[in-house]
Amino acid sequence: MRYAETGYNLEIDLSRGNIERVETDPKLTELHLGGLGTNAKVLWDRVAPETEPFSPDNLLIFSAGLLCGTPAPGANRTIVTTYSPQTLLMGYSMMGGFWAPELKHAGYDKVIIRGKSPNLVYLSINNDKVEIRDASHFHGKGAGETADLIRQELKEPRAQVAAIGLAGENRVYFASIEHGRSSASRQGIGAVMGDKGIKAIAVRGTKDINIARPAEFIKLCNEVLKYIQHRQNNPVPGVMPILAVLGSPQEMKLVDEEWHTQNFMWGNARERKKDYWNKEIEEKWKETQENVRKRLISCYNCPVQCAATISVPGLSTYMMKCFSKLTYTMAAFSDLDFGFRIAQRATEYGVDGYSTPQVMAFAIELYEAGILTDQNMPGMPSDNEGRFYWLLDRIVRREGIGDVLANGTYWAARQIGKGAEAYAHNTIKKHEQLPLKLGMLNPIYFLMYSTGEKINITQIEGQFPQAPFPAKEEREEFVKDWIQVPDEKFKKYFLDWEPRGERSMPYYPTVEMCCEIVDWMERMHYIDDALGMCAGLSSFPLKPPYHIHNYPAFISSATGIDMDEAGLTQVTKRNRTLLRAVNVRRGLRRADEKPPEDHWKKRFPELEAKLLDEYYKFKGWDNQGIPTKKSLRELGMDYVSEDFEQRGIIKNEQGEEESQGHQDRC
Ligand code: SF4
């Protein structure tokens, strides 16, 4: 019997119209757990690195994490993986909500899609009955509207539906997959779904999921629920409200936006408005938010309620959470009311709430700089809000200049030329990032941003505070109940961290400490993404209920796999290295590993080079960020080094000496 997982994947070949239920290898679960880990293995094994994102040979994998559907609170993430049209690297984007648990209850861990359908279709998965159904009548429909229509058509009101809107159908590089209660937005996952000709996947499942040692598992779940309650009632003192509790930033509850509006950038990540916030705006925004916010909602099996249903008069209801509340407002130099209105249209179109506003603000900047002209923008309104709607409509339809902008700022700038590249300045690995510009280089986040395979600065934050606390007493108080640290030394690093002086950024934490801190924070993300756990209850907040000390017991009691902290660390190291290997095979090298140029005003090139040198060494990678033969062998991944050798990425028997050679050349 298989525990926690179902032991079956659904394999769909759209070119042939073929559907197969395939038993999976339990050994892979021991090596990679599930979710992102096994997705990376499937991609490594089955998609040649030369494959274009829009090739029928590219796979689109929807995976439930290993613990999804079990009673573990917050285990509900779907991890969608493919080659991204925007970064050209392995893209993975996660959505919460209810889709992944439903898939597990239907009897599957993953849906692996290959080929392309000649006509628009949708998949209907209802336990053992799986169909590829015609979706031509949904062409051009909004993502939420499509989900409603499919539930009606199937007469299955409880089906969980993940759908694309017009943007995905038209292969907009920042198209999202929407699921009503969440979305997989980053890296153009929705464009690949559209390219394959799938409008939606509807899932309904009623089967049980087996747990190896139920009594032990439920006890652990209850402890987590108790801790969530405790943390929500006792916010961490001394940090911003969004970091003090659990979940994703509680933007649907918070109304005080002084910090965001005065510290984040407006427009295309260019301009700060230091005196924006005042009493009048606070009251107006509070009223706006309270008028449109109908209900706070949670994902499957979670009490935290990070999201809300938003209902703007005259528009259909949609879900919002997190910082997308402000991305459109601030990009358009507008008002919160505008942000809520345009986000409804954008959600139906199915576009990423971080990239899209920046792409539009980028277009307006180019227009104002004379790089784009009236000829490129015929009929564009003169007011900012009108311009944003005008641009959004053209981007999702790929009409006129919208066809160029639909490729995102990096690619659009290169197509437009005439100096447009200078305006596409807020990307990492060709992907737009949160418009945040700071003063002093933060060495921890320099490494996280530069090297993170998630390529998304809003989803890689971690359990080590982002800045030192001013007073020693505050730090001492903070470490008292800091049970999540994997090692006591992290408490000392934090206690000694000062806002000014010798032990301050950028030289403290030291390079060695930064490597260890980043490794810890990454480890937690890789565990979450394999288990399908919400980062908001684990890797993201400062003092979460899940951590390296209780995760092994969760995994063991759920799956029956013998797991301890060392074993779990080894699995995450393997998954981390495999993702790196997939991207190395796609051409990723050290030169690609950098944050947006002006993310920090004060930069330290020598220190940054040293940080990368030492971090690569710490990870067992060479000076180009390529895993060495030795480290691959330790992880049981000789198959990767053999492949690297065949492709000339590392050379023959002397792989490691060759890697050393890279260091000298750098
Ligand atoms: S913490 Fe928030 S985002 Fe995470 S599962 Fe719960 S409701 Fe969803």
Taking the centre of ligand 1 as the mean of its atom positions, its distance from the CA of residue 79, in whole angstroms, is 15
Q: How far apart are CA 498 and CA 486, in angstroms?
A: 22
101 lines ligand 1 (CB under 6 A): no
Q: What is the pLDDT of residue 458?
A: 78
CA gap 582, 611 in Å, rounded: 23
C-alpha 323 – ligand 1 centre gap (Å): 14
Q: Which of 281, 289, 402 is nearest to 339 (CA)?
A: 289
Nearest ligand 1 atom to alpha carbon 306: 2
CA of 74 to the centre of ligand 1 (A): 6
Partnered with residue 204 across adjacent β-strands are: 126
Q: How far away, in angstroms, is 249 Cα from ligand 1 center?
A: 10
Q: Which residues contact 631 (CB under 8 A, 6 or more apart)?
A: 577, 619, 620, 621
**Per-residue pLDDT at 658:** 45
Q: How far is the CA of 405 from the centre of ligand 1 (A)?
A: 32
* pLDDT at residue number 657: 44
Q: Give the pLDDT score at 3.
A: 98
How many angstroms does the Cα of residue 306 sit away from the middle of ligand 1?
Answer: 6
Residue 455's nearest CA partner among 352, 373, 376, 548 is: 352
Is the separation of the CB atoms in 209 and 105 below 8 Å?
Answer: yes
Both tokens assigned to 547: 């951590």
For 277-316, what is each residue's pLDDT tens digit? 999 999 999 999 999 999 999 999 999 999 999 999 999 9
CA of 175 to the centre of ligand 1 (A): 23
Q: Is 533 in the pocket of ligand 1 (CB under 6 A)?
A: no
Burial class, 400, CB count within 10 angstroms (exposed 0-12 / middle 13-18 / buried 19+): middle
Ligand 1 centroid – CA 142 distance (Å): 25
Instruction: List, in order, residues 6 or more apart from 314 with CB less than 8 Å away.
Output: none
Distance CA 81, CA 41 (A): 11
Alpha carbons 238 and 289: distance in angstroms, whole number: 26
Is any ligand 1 atom within 6 A of the Cβ of residue 535? no
- Tell me which H or E stretch contains 90: strand 90-95
Write the CB contacts of 494 (distance below 8 Å, at least 6 apart in sequence).
464, 465, 468, 475, 478, 479
**Using CA atoms, how far apart are residues 615 and 204, in angstroms rounded to an integer?**
44
What are 163-216's pLDDT values in tens digits?
999 999 999 999 999 998 899 999 999 999 999 999 999 999 999 999 999 999
Question: Which residue from 83, 79, 84 is spatially nearest to 432, judged by alpha carbons?
Answer: 84
Among protein residues, the one whose CA lies closest to atom 1 of ligand 1: 247
3-state secondary structure of 76: coil
**Which of 98, 224, 296, 299 is the best mutation target for the ligand 1 pocket, counting ligand atoms within 8 Å of the beta carbon and taking the most?**
299
Q: Which residue has the least CA distance to atom 8 on ligand 1?
A: 299
Cα 375 to chain centroid distance, Å, stands at: 37
* Ligand 1 mutation target, pool 98, 243, 298, 324, most atoms within 8 A of CB: 298
Q: Which of 95, 125, 271, 252 is nearest to 189 (CA)?
A: 95
Q: Which atom of ligand 1 is nearest to the CA of 74?
A: 5
- Position 434 scores a pLDDT of 87
Amino acid at 194: G
Measured from the Cα of 534, ligand 1's closest atom is 4
Residues of the chain below pLDDT 50: 654-666
DSSP state of 72: S
Does 117 sit in the ligand 1 pocket, CB within 6 Å? Answer: no
Q: Beta-carbon neighbour count of residue 599 at 10 Å? A: 24
Question: Minimal CA–CA distance to 446: which of 616, 621, 603, 620?
Answer: 603
Q: Kindly give the pairing relationship between strand 121-126 and strand 198-204.
A: parallel
Give the pLDDT score at 664: 29
Ligand 1 centroid–CA 544 distance in Å is 12
Q: Answer yes or no: is the C-beta of 298 below 6 A from any ligand 1 atom.
A: yes
Helix/strand/coil for 318: strand
Does the CB atom of residue 538 touch ligand 1 within 6 A?
Answer: no
In angstroms, rounded to a whole number, what is the distance separating the alpha carbons of residues 314 and 296? Answer: 21
245 CB near ligand 1 (under 6 Å): no
* 3-state DSSP helix/strand/coil % of the chain, to nearest 5: 45, 15, 40
Contact yes or no for 447/615 (Cβ under 8 A):
yes
For a pocket test of ligand 1, which of 183, 304, 538, 539 has the largest count of ligand atoms closer than 8 A to its C-beta?
Answer: 304
| 76, 250, 302: residue to mutate for ligand 1 pocket, most atoms within 8 A of CB | 302
Bridge-based pairing state of the strands 110-114 and 8-13: parallel
Indicate the top mutation candidate among 534, 539, 546 to test ligand 1's pocket, ranked by most ligand atoms within 8 A of CB: 534
Residue-level pLDDT at 600: 93
Distances (CA, A) of 465 to 102, 233, 328, 455, 541: 35, 20, 28, 20, 9
Ligand 1: residue whose CA is nearest its atom 7 = 298
CB of 552 within 8 A of CB of 219? no
Q: Is the CB of 308 inside a 6 Å radius of any atom of ligand 1?
A: no
Burial class (CB in 10 A: 0-12, 13-18, 19+), 374: exposed
For the chain, how long is the longest CA-to-CA vector? 69
Half-sphere exposure of 334 (CA within 13 A, CB side): 23
What's the CA gap between 269 and 291, in Å, rounded?
29
List, as one string, the DSSP characters of 167-214.
HHHTT-TTB-EE-SS-EE-GGGHHHHHHHTTEEEEEEE-------SSH
User: Tell me, what DSSP letter sits at residue 315?
Assistant: S
pLDDT at 652: 64
- Nearest-atom number in ligand 1 for the CA of 96 is 8
Q: Which helix (H) or strand (E) holds 129?
A: strand 129-134
> Among all chains, which residue has been given the structure tokens 């239920």?
21
C-alpha torsion sign, points 314, 320, 325, 328: negative
Q: In a 3-state reduction of DSSP, which class is residue 346?
A: helix
**Residue 417 CB partners (closer than 8 Å, separation 6+):** none
For 103-144, write each residue's pLDDT tens digit: 999 999 999 999 999 999 999 999 999 999 999 999 999 999
Say if ligand 1 is within 6 A of residue 100 CB.
no
Parallel, antiparallel, or unpaired: how do β-strands 427-428 and 431-432 relate?
Answer: antiparallel
Contact 442, 600 (CB under 8 A): yes
Say whether pTM exceeds 0.85. yes
Amino acid identity at 379: G
Q: Is the CB of 97 under 6 A from ligand 1?
A: no
Is 182 a pocket residue for ligand 1 (Cβ < 6 Å)? no
Query: What pLDDT does residue 450 have?
Result: 96
The radius of gyration of the chain from alpha carbons, rounded to an integer in Å, stands at 24
Q: What is the residue-wise DSSP string for 582-594?
A: HHHHTT--GGG--
Ligand 1 near 539 CB (within 6 A): no
Q: Which two tokens stand for residue 392?
A: 């959004």
Q: Residue 224 C-alpha to ligand 1 middle, in angstroms? A: 14
